Amino acid sequence: MNLSRSLPLRLSPAGGQYDLFRLVDSCCSPAHLPTVRAAHARLLLLQHLPSYPSAAAARVKLIQAYAACSALPAARAVLASSPDRTNVFFNVLLRALTRASLHRDALLLFASMRPQGPSCSPDHYTYPLALKSCAASGSLLLGLQIHSSIARTGLGANLFVAHSAISMYARCGRPDDAYQLFAEMPHRDVVSWNAMISGFAHAGLFGRAVAVLRELVELQSPRPDAGTMASILPAMGDAKTKDITFLREVFDDMRFRGLIAWNAMLSIYAFNELHVKAVELFMRMEKDGVEPDAVTLATVLPSCGEVSAFSLGKRIHEIIKRKRMCPNMLLENALMDMYANCGSLKDAREVFDSMSARDVISWTSIISAYGTRGHGTEAINLFESMRGQGLEPDSIAFVAVLAACSHAGLLDVGKRYFDSMTSRYRITPKVEHYTCIVDLLGRAGCISEAYDFIMAMPIEPNERVWGALLGACRIHSNMDIGLLAADSLFRLVPKQSGYYVLLSNIYARAGRWADVTSVRSVMASKGIKKLPGGSNVEIGDQVHTFRVGDRSHPQSEMIYDKLDELLGRIRGMGYNPEVEGTLHDVEEEDKEGHLSVHSEKLAIAFVLLNTSPGTPIRITMNLRTCSDCHHAAKLISKITDREIILKDINRFHHIVQGVCSCGDYW
């Protein structure tokens, strides 16, 4: 067999080394592995010729090529069989192992270098790789030993080595040591600052990460770059409003904003549930002509769903199609969630049905989409289909199917699934599962059973468990158990206004107005105010937010005129405002007026003014919709011939011709 025929380049004895270098440099995926093996065979023939003096360099290239093709055992074999190996051989393989997250193997390889002799001693390329593996594997003791070796060799002043040492200390739980090392550096470039910011961020010390960033900004040189924005991401869950505002200022002041910086700022908004800002930033990104990648789109799609930015979500779907980014399970799952959260179950199902492969997350998303609309039977059928395809439900999948049973009133089915979690799948129930069962029992009117269930829980019930019980007590006017639930809630979350309002409403239903006044007095004395309702709607390329009684919108006068017209028309159909659920510190004659300006009513009027007949109305709320707005929305959908999709914090209400998907079971 002529081995040279299997290669795209002809390898002559004289020029073979250069041709082989060019050849292996072009190999970068497992598909190229046969070519690399053929080149390896050719090298074995050529290396014995007097005219082929660079066999060592060729072997280094082969290690690189095998590593690029994910053939790490072959790369190790080349290293082991090389008689003239130096630290360059080790560095190449060490880099490959680190990139593949094989950190234990990388550290074992590092430990084998010194016994090979002086030519294999670690250098300024080796140490950063070894420290990176220490950081990733939490190997503090080995990291300390390596740092000690660095100090003895005098390489501590090397920037790359210092950056890696900072990261190692921070990732291994020694952020103060990392900062001391950072402070002692004689010269710090932007990468040094980024390493320290990232170190604090990975340690969960967001405040200290921001403090270092502020210090960098004050110095004015070096200037923050895209890496600076990305370095702060790991601790974004602890961000405060003022810190996010500062980060946006840093972003806006950057001279060169690459895609990494845009993605980082989008993530900062998304992580902190500032979904309107995330959507607005993405639209600015589009306007500036910055081409998004899969990370960008997977980051912004959930925000589109959270604020019902349906048009933008559809446009992103077109981008994904145009760039042929699918199949990509991460993107497809994000698309499905976006459509479901925007109220378009049809589009969500089309994405699900078109997926070439699905994981448990995919199934859980579509089960949840059906469940939150009250389509319990469909959700259960999907759950069983998932099991039929050999996928075992996980803890989150059970939350989805239990919630679906709760929303649809499928009491016995929900109980069976809860039992099967432990008996069949050996999944230990978490507080989310217990909350679902309390909600399931409570909605079905089994208040005493729900209370007994809480008392028998093997874990401490949290506010969501007691909140589900209190909500059920309001629905079924059970004051005795409602007071017990409220007492537990006030001890757990004494400043949460929603639970005081629920208790107030329970008293109001019972006609105990003195107790209603007492609850309101307690709220006033503690400075607790009811969270104002807010509703988001998308028109064109903008998300509009309305608050209760909002008059800040430019079309405010037209909105109120339209709302008056709508309320007048539905009164003719028998609508009477349900004043029971409104604030009881509002004067009795003002309660109806207070209800008429709830945020969802204003949002409905606004969409009717600004869209053509037949356009669905999609509204996302920050609270649970009240019974009066739910009733009004059903009647408005009938007189305007519009679909109205109300997404509150608990579920969807998909209203068509006066009929809601919840079946008034909510």
pLDDT, average across residues 386-405: 96
* pLDDT reading at 53 higher than 50: no
What is the spatial distance between Cα 3 and Cα 237, in angstroms, rounded to a whole number?
57
Q: What is the pLDDT of residue 589?
A: 36
Residue 207 has a pLDDT of: 86
Residue 23 has a pLDDT of 58
What CATH fold (topology level) applies to the domain 434-525?
1.25.40
pLDDT band at 48; cut points 50, 70, 90: low
**For the chain, what is the mean pLDDT?**
87
Total residues found in the chain within this entry: 666
> Quick check: 501 pLDDT over 70?
yes
pLDDT in tens, 313-354: 999 999 999 999 999 999 999 999 999 999 899 999 999 999
Distance CA 449, CA 444 (A): 10
Higher pLDDT, 83 or 575: 575
Q: What is the pLDDT of residue 544?
A: 92
SS3 of 176-187: HHHHHHHHCCCC
Q: What percent of the chain has pLDDT over 70?
A: 89
Q: What is the mean pLDDT of residues 341-368?
A: 95
Over 90: is that where the pLDDT of 193 sits?
yes
| pLDDT score, position 308 | 85
* pLDDT value of residue 580: 54
- Ordered by start, the domain boundaries in the chain are 434-525, 534-660
Q: Identify the pLDDT of residue 83.
A: 78
Q: How does residue 12 score in pLDDT terms, banded at 50, 70 and 90?
A: very low
Instruction: Write down the pLDDT at residue 626.
Output: 86
pLDDT at res. 423: 95
pLDDT for 21 equals 59
Measured over the CA atoms of residue 408, residue 413, residue 418 and residue 421, the dihedral's sign is negative
> Model confidence at 427, in pLDDT bands (50, 70, 90)?
very high
End-to-end CA distance of the chain: 76
pLDDT for the residue 354: 96
Q: Report long-range pairs for 376-380 (Cβ below 8 Å, ≥24 apart).
A: 376/404, 376/405, 376/407, 376/408, 376/409, 376/410, 376/413, 377/408, 377/410, 379/404, 379/408, 380/404, 380/405, 380/410, 380/413
Residues facing 539 on adjacent strands: 542
Q: Is the pLDDT of residue 147 over 90?
A: yes
Question: Is it the case that residue 236 has pLDDT exceeding 80?
Answer: no
Residue 52 has pLDDT above 70, yes or no: no
Average pLDDT over residues 465-477: 94
Task: Tell whether the model's pLDDT for residue 594 goes beyond 60.
Answer: no
What's the pLDDT score for residue 371? 95
Tell me: pLDDT of 41 over 90.
no
Per-residue pLDDT band at 22 (split at 50, 70, 90)? low
Report, as an integer, the average pLDDT of 89-115.
Answer: 90
> Judging by DSSP bridges, how do beta strands 542-547 and 617-621 pair with one another?
unpaired
Q: In the chain, what percentage of residues exceed pLDDT 90? A: 59
pLDDT at residue 13, as a whole number:
45
Q: Give 200's contacts (C-beta < 8 A, 6+ positions apart).
A: 170, 175, 178, 179, 206, 208, 209, 212, 235
Whether the per-residue pLDDT at 221 is higher than 90: the answer is no
Q: Examine the pLDDT at 659 and tell me if it is beyond 50.
A: yes
Confidence (pLDDT) at 304: 94
Q: Tens digit of pLDDT for each residue in 519-538?
A: 888 988 888 887 788 999 99
Report the alpha-carbon distance of residue 393 to residue 363 in Å, rounded.
9
